[in-house]
Amino acid sequence: MRARRAMAVLAALTTVGVGVVVATPASAGAATAVVCPTGWGSLPKTAADTANGSLTDIRTGRHDCYDRMVFDVPTAGTTGIGYTVHYVDAFIQDPSGIRIPVSGGAILEILVSSPAYDPETYTETYPGRGGQPLPGVDLTGYRTFRDAKYGASFEGVTQVGLGVRARLPFRVTQLSDRLVVDVAHTW
């Protein structure tokens, strides 16, 4: 009897245009919580200069737990790409010594052991300009990244200043054709 009344009420509500919301158990459609990695730390990270390729692109991406910056060096080979990534108080262009303003609560200086030019012909392979935002990089909507400026490419090393929300943990991953810098959204 109660089932018939419930059906009649449901039919009446539907007829007069009132929406009905059907509740489902929480376990039936609940999304699983994202578990973010911890333990990356915020101390400097470096690897030996082993690459012999030129930088061709810098791009970024957003993930659930971190923001990512990728340095493409397609001709690096299989030995990996040398780097130094560390927090600095100010972003200073090498070798001029000019201070480049970078927005954010903290600044990561990223030194990639790959020139933004062909070392044999000195032809530009990446169009960065000292003190300017990275070409093609739009950080709108990122949780951690705030600003990214090109420093220089001098003596086979390319320099980038990455402004982040705060001094947060980061990791660096070497691959045969790119270098990846991930900065966590939280500790």
CB atoms within 10 A of CB 75: 13
* CATH number of the domain residue 90 falls in: 2.60.40.3500
Q: Which domain holds residue 91?
A: 45-184
Structural domains in the chain (count): 1
Which has more confidence, 12 or 34? 34
Please check whether residue 108 lies inside any domain of the structure. yes
Position 160 scores a pLDDT of 98
The percent of residues in the chain predicted with pLDDT above 90, rounded, is 69
Is 4 domain-assigned?
no
- Among 16-30, 58-72, 126-140, 173-187, the range scoring the smallest mean pLDDT is 16-30
Average per-residue pLDDT for the chain = 85
Q: What is the 3-state secondary structure (H, E, C) of 132-156?
A: CECCCCCCCCCCCEEEEEEEEEECC
pLDDT digits (tens, 9 = 90+) for 116-135: 999 999 999 999 999 999 99
- pLDDT band with cut points at 50, 70 and 90 for residue 167: very high
Considering the domain boundaries, does residue 12 fall inside one?
Answer: no
Instruction: Mark residue 81 as left, alpha or beta (left: phi above 0; alpha: psi -120 to 50; beta: remaining).
Output: beta
Q: What is the pLDDT of residue 30?
A: 55
Read off the pLDDT of residues 100-112 as tens digits, 9 standing for 90 and up.
Answer: 999 999 999 999 9
**Model pTM?**
0.81
Residue of 129 and 14 predicted with greater confidence: 129
Predicted local distance difference test score (pLDDT) of residue 11: 41
In a domain, 16, yes or no: no
